[in-house]
């Protein structure tokens, strides 16, 4: 690929490529990406997307199945790389092959859409897909294409990565320190830790809501939500709008539901997926112990309207894959 220098991008409209493992659904990275795309598009830039899951238009998307952290081969690699200090030689060989495979696709992505700037959403921060991070780092180092690393959370912030056999990979690519990579973090703590651990400077861009825009007026679309979730009109409707992961402290919401000492149902809008099932199993036991009413509604919530695969009206767009799949907390009455 032809080398591109940092001064390629000017104040004129640019062709920008977003890269992540998935760009679909209600996970924080996908939602924040959508906010950035809205702003950049308003400024006249054109955005394109590289991932395994993409809810963006097909003619602006480049889909590669090995980019997903939940691809079977990537899952197997992650198992061998983390929770142990030794990795098998076969793991290193597979990572090298996948890195080269993904690098070729990244090169084609840049060429196909004639991109001038990359924005990497968390794929250079947390090692959920090690081959993808390595491929990105190598491609950026070779081409010097201007890149923004938008880092939502780092490996050192997750206990699941504390014990690993991937230290060389983590130092190389999570995140990489390269001349053409500018780092963006979401809070000042991450900024300080990034500087301390890598010597890299960064800019803080918090995750924010557009409070300047008024919410749309009710139009009856969700009038049947209580009925759909089997929540009585006189019950409290409590919402936990997060994924089922330990750092969200969902047990506190369960305790609050119990402490109300009044008819109440807790609705959890997201499922668990990329951080294991042990926390979900713990919550199920805790729900049973306290005897509270909980609904898992990941199959009907998303950031825009649509229909379920069965054709029912829903807040989930048709293009999105099911968030919870077979992994869910049964409804508890």
DSSP letter for each residue of 153-201: --GGG-GGGSSBS-HHHHHHHSS---TTEEEEESSHHHHHHHHHHH---
Can you give the pLDDT at residue 205? 96
Specify whether domain 225-314 bears CATH 3.40.50. Answer: yes
Can you give the pLDDT at residue 40? 96
Which residues does the chain have with pLDDT short of 70?
1-11, 273-276, 303, 306-333
Give the mean pLDDT of the chain.
Answer: 86
Element (H, E) at 140: helix 130-143
* 8-44 residue pLDDT tens: 444 689 999 999 999 987 788 998 999 999 999 999 9
Q: Is the pTM of this model over 0.95?
A: no
Is 225-314 in the same CATH topology as 6-204?
yes
Domain boundaries, the chain: 6-204, 225-314
* 103-131 residue pLDDT tens: 999 999 999 999 999 999 999 999 999 99
The CATH number fitting domain 6-204, selected from 2.60.420, 1.10.3470, 3.40.50, 3.10.450: 3.40.50
CB of 131 closer than 8 Å to CB of 99: yes
The bridge status of strand 313-314 relative to strand 306-307 is antiparallel
Paired strand residues for 18: 49, 119
Whole-angstrom distance, CA of residue 289 vs CA of residue 255: 11
């Amino acid at each position: 690929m032809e080398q591109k220098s940092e001064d390629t991008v000017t104040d004129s409209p640019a062709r920008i490529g977003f890269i992540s493992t998935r760009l679909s659904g209600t996970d924080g990275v996908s939602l924040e990406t959508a906010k950035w795309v809205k702003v950049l598009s308003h400024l006249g830039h054109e955005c394109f997307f590289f991932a395994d899951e993409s809810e963006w238009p097909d003619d602006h998307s480049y889909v590669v199945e090995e980019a997903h952290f939940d691809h079977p081969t990537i899952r197997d690699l992650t198992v061998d790389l983390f929770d142990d200090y030794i990795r098998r030689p076969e793991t290193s060989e597979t990572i090298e092959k996948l890195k080269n495979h993904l690098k070729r696709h990244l090169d084609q992505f840049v060429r196909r859409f004639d991109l001038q700037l990359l924005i990497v959403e968390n794929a250079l921060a947390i090692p959920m897909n090690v081959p993808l991070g390595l491929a990105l780092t190598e491609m950026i180092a070779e081409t010097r294409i201007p890149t923004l690393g938008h880092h939502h959370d780092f490996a050192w912030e997750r206990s699941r990565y504390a014990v690993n056999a991937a230290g060389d990979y983590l130092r190389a690519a999570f995140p990489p320190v390269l001349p053409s990579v500018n780092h963006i973090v979401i809070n000042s703590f991450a900024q300080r830790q990034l500087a301390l651990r890598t010597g890299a400077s960064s800019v803080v861009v918090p995750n924010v809501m557009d409070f300047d825009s008024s919410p749309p007026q009710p139009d009856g679309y969700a009038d049947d939500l209580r009925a759909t979730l089997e929540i009585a009109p006189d019950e409290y409707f409590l919402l936990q709008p997060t994924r089922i992961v330990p750092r969200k402290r969902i047990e506190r919401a369960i305790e609050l539901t119990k402490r109300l000492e009044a008819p109440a149902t807790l609705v959890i809008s997201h499922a668990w997926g990329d951080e294991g099932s042990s926390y979900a199993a713990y919550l199920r036991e805790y729900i049973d112990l306290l005897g509270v009413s909980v609904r898992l509604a990941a199959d009907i919530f998303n950031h825009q309207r649509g229909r379920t695969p069965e054709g029912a009206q829903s807040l989930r767009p048709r293009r999105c894959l099911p968030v919870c799949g077979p992994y869910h907390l049964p409804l508890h009455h």
